[in-house]
Amino acid sequence: MASIEEGNSKSITNPALDPDLDNPDHPSLEFAQFAAGCFWGVELAFQRVEGVVKTEVGYSQGNVHNPNYKLICSGTTEHAEVIRIQFDPNVCPYSNLLSLFWSRHDPTTLNRQGNDVGKQYRSGIYYYNDAQAQLARESLEAKQKEFTNKKIVTEILPAKRFYRAEEYHQQYLEKGGGRGAAQSAAKGCNDPIRCYG
């Protein structure tokens, strides 16, 4: 468990700072984790990708153990809204996931996406191994060339402990969201994604 030194005498362990040590459901699968604003629309986009086997939305990169949505929204936890993906790299290379990540949000806006403002809406790529880290950095460098007057603010960090969000957030748009019609999560679907709460 990660430790935080407090004063000179005692150490406190904080599981929120630990790496994500969960394992995918099958040994042939890998995890990927991204933050790109509100997780509902991001999740639906990744659900539609061939080779993505499972998606979960949740919280990571913060300093509070077992956070909940209300606490995240208070802005005191440092957590980001993230999507954790299980994917088959033989069907969907990690680079394909990175391409979709960059296309789903504006990586030049700090702590906001559209009308969603707060540190929980930041842009981040959270890697599980050295190969993912390298591909993430290379993709950021390539993407930066598209922005001549703006700097990309996406953070690239090791994946920390993943806290699964409340059940009502899971596959939110596929289930119809708060007041809308259910949206297709079918593989290959390219219907526009409508985000509503």
38 counts as catalytic: yes
- Beta-bridge mates of residue 155: 124
- Beta-bridge mates of residue 173: none
38, 73, 92, 195: the active-site residue = 38
Under 8 Å between Cβ of 2 and 17 = yes
Residues marked active site are found at 38
